[in-house]
Amino acid sequence: MSEVNKVVLAYSGGLDTSVIVRWLQDTYNSEVVTFTADIGQGEEVEPARAKAEALGVEEIYIDDLREEFVRDFVFPMFRANTIYEGEYLLGTSIARPLIAKRLIEIANLTGSDAISHGATGKGNDQVRFELGAYALKPGIRVIAPWREWDLSSRESLMAYCEDHNIAVDYAAGKKKSPYSMDANLLHISYEGGILEDPWAEPEEAMWRWSVSPEAAPDEAATIELDFEGGDIVAIDGEAMSPATVLEHLNKVGGENGIGRDDIVENRYVGMKSRGCYETPGGTIMLRAHRAIESLTLDREVAHLKDELMPRYANIIYNGYWWSPERKMLQVAIDESQNAVNGKVRLKLYKGNVIVTGRQSGDSLFDESIATFEDDAGAYNQADAEGFIKLNALRMRIAANRGRSPL
Q: If DSSP codes are grouped into helix, strand and coil, which group holds residue 173? A: coil
- Is 142 among the domain residues? yes
- Is 311 among the domain residues? no
Q: Are 133 and 103 in contact (CB under 8 A)?
A: yes
Same domain, 62 and 200: no
Residue 3: pLDDT band with limits 50, 70, 90:
confident
pLDDT at 348 over 90: yes
pLDDT at 66 over 70: yes
Same domain, 146 and 214: no
Same domain, 20 and 117: yes
pLDDT at 82 over 70: yes
- Is 141 among the domain residues? yes
383 given a catalytic annotation:
no
Same domain, 202 and 346: yes
pLDDT digit string, tens, across residues 356-369: 999 999 999 999 88
Residue 388 belongs to domain spanning: 369-400
Q: Which of 229, 225, 227, 228 is nearest to 334 (CA)?
A: 229
- Is 78 among the domain residues? no
Same domain, 127 and 44: yes
Q: Are 297 and 289 in contact (CB under 8 A)?
A: no
What CA–CA distance (Å, rounded) separates 197 from 131? 31
- Is 144 among the domain residues? yes
Same domain, 171 and 244: no
pLDDT digit string, tens, across residues 146-162: 999 988 887 898 899 98
Sign of CA dihedral 354, 360, 364, 369: positive
Write down the mean pLDDT value for the chain: 94
- Is 309 among the domain residues? no
- Is 213 among the domain residues? yes
Question: Other C-beta atoms within 10 Å of 314: how many?
Answer: 15
Same domain, 97 and 46: yes
How many domains does one find in the chain? 3
Exactly one of 22, 93, 112, 125 is catalytic; name it. 125
16 given a catalytic annotation:
yes
Q: Report which of residues 132 and 375 the model is more confident about.
A: 132
What CATH number has the domain bearing residue 189? 3.90.1260.10
180: amino acid identity, one letter: S
What CA–CA distance (Å, rounded) separates 244 from 258? 18
List Cα–Cα distances, 242 to 93, 180, 221, 231, 302, in angstroms: 19, 28, 21, 8, 24
Q: Which of 95, 90, 34 is nearest to 66 (CA)?
A: 95
125 given a catalytic annotation:
yes
pLDDT mean over 308-331: 98
- CA angle (100 as vertex; 98, 102 as ends), nearest 5: 70
What CA–CA distance (Å, rounded) separates 247 from 266? 29
Same domain, 191 and 97: no
What CATH number has the domain bearing residue 145? 3.40.50.620
| Per-residue pLDDT, 172 | 47
Domain boundary among the residues 119, 146, 176 is at 176
pLDDT at 170 over 50: no
Q: If DSSP codes are grouped into helix, strand and coil, which group holds residue 100? A: helix
3-state secondary structure 324-389: HHHHHHHHHHHHHCCCCCEEEEEEEECCEEEEEEEECCCCCCCHHHHCCCCCCCCCCCCHHHHHHH
Exactly one of 63, 113, 180, 334 is catalytic; name it. 180
Domain boundary among the residues 176, 195, 224 is at 176
| Per-residue pLDDT, 165 | 85
pLDDT digit string, tens, across residues 6-56: 999 999 988 899 999 999 999 999 999 999 999 999 888 888 999 999 999
Same domain, 115 and 227: no
For the entire predicted model, the pTM comes to 0.94
Same domain, 127 and 164: yes
List Cα–Cα distances, 313 to 15, 140, 250, 319, 405, in angstroms: 32, 27, 22, 10, 36
| Per-residue pLDDT, 166 | 87
pLDDT digit string, tens, across residues 94-146: 999 999 999 999 999 999 999 999 999 889 999 999 999 999 999 999 999 99
- Is 348 among the domain residues? yes
Same domain, 169 and 185: no
Q: Which of 109, 106, 137 is nearest to 322 (CA)?
A: 137
Q: Report which of residues 171 and 392 the model is more confident about.
A: 392
26 given a catalytic annotation:
no
Same domain, 123 and 188: no
Exactly one of 66, 79, 96, 287 is catalytic; name it. 96
| Per-residue pLDDT, 44 | 82
Domain boundary among the residues 176, 200, 235 is at 176
